[in-house]
């Protein structure tokens, strides 16, 4: 039965206007954007890049919010609650540690530059 559905889905996807094709298009284009944006990151900032990507990937919290949102308590709500905690640790921790790192990157003081 599952394979029938899979086949139906594939047939559906072949026709235009399928939401999966739309999402997949977004996905592929985003991979290209990511490729170009990340190559332009200066190697000196690769550590902050990791921690900030870590923070933004916690946008997975939107899935957790939907799970934790219903009025009735249930297994999924508990799962959502735990996921909200985990993602929040990452969002706060990731952005703060990125900021701490970036705050340390300073240019040479002006005096020295002028003396050169």
Partner 1 sequence: MSESLTGFAYLAAAVCFILALRGLSSPESARRGTALGVIGMVIAIGTTLADPTVMSFELIIAGIIIGGLIGTVVALKIEMTALPQLVAAFHSLVGLAAVFVAAAAFFAPEAYGIGVLGNIQAASLIEMSLGAAIGAITFSGSLIAFGKLQGVLSGSPLVFPGQHALNALLGIALVAGVAWLVQTNSETAFWAVVVLSIIIGFTIILPIGGADMPVVVSMLNSYSGWAACGIGFTLSNTALIVTGALVGSSGAILSYIMCKGMNRSIFNVLLGGFGGEVAGPAAAGGGEAKAVKSGSGDDAAFIMKNASKVIIVPGYGMAVAQAQHALREMGDLLKAEGVDVSYAIHPVAGRMPGHMNVLLAEANVPYDEVFELEEINTEFSTADVAFVIGANDVTNPAAKTDPTSAIYGMPILEVENAGTVLFIKRSMASGYAGVDNELFFRDNTMMLFSDAKAMTESIVQALG
11 binds partner 1 (CB under 8 A): no
- Closest to 93 in 3D by CA, of 42, 50, 45: 50
Q: How many CB atoms lie within 10 A of CB 90?
A: 19
Smallest gap from residue 74 Cβ to partner 1 (A): 7
92 binds partner 1 (CB under 8 A): yes
Smallest gap from residue 110 Cβ to partner 1 (A): 11
14 binds partner 1 (CB under 8 A): no
Residues 30-59 that bind partner 1 (CB under 8 A): 30-31, 33-35, 37-59
Q: Please, are residues 87 and 63 in contact by the beta-carbon 8 Å criterion?
A: no
Q: How many CB atoms lie within 10 A of CB 80?
A: 20
């Amino acid at each position: 039965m599952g394979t029938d559905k899979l086949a139906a889905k594939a047939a559906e996807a072949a026709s235009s206007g399928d939401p999966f094709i739309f999402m997949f298009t977004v996905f592929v284009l985003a991979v290209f954007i990511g490729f170009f944006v990340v190559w332009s990151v200066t190697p000196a900032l690769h550590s902050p890049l990791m921690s900030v990507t870590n923070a933004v990937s916690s946008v997975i919290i939107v899935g957790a919010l939907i799970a934790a949102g219903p009025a009735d308590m249930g297994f999924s709500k508990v799962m959502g609650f735990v996921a909200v905690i985990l993602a929040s640790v990452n969002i706060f921790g990731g952005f703060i540690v990125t900021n701490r790192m970036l705050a340390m990157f300073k240019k040479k003081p002006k005096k020295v530059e002028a003396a050169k």
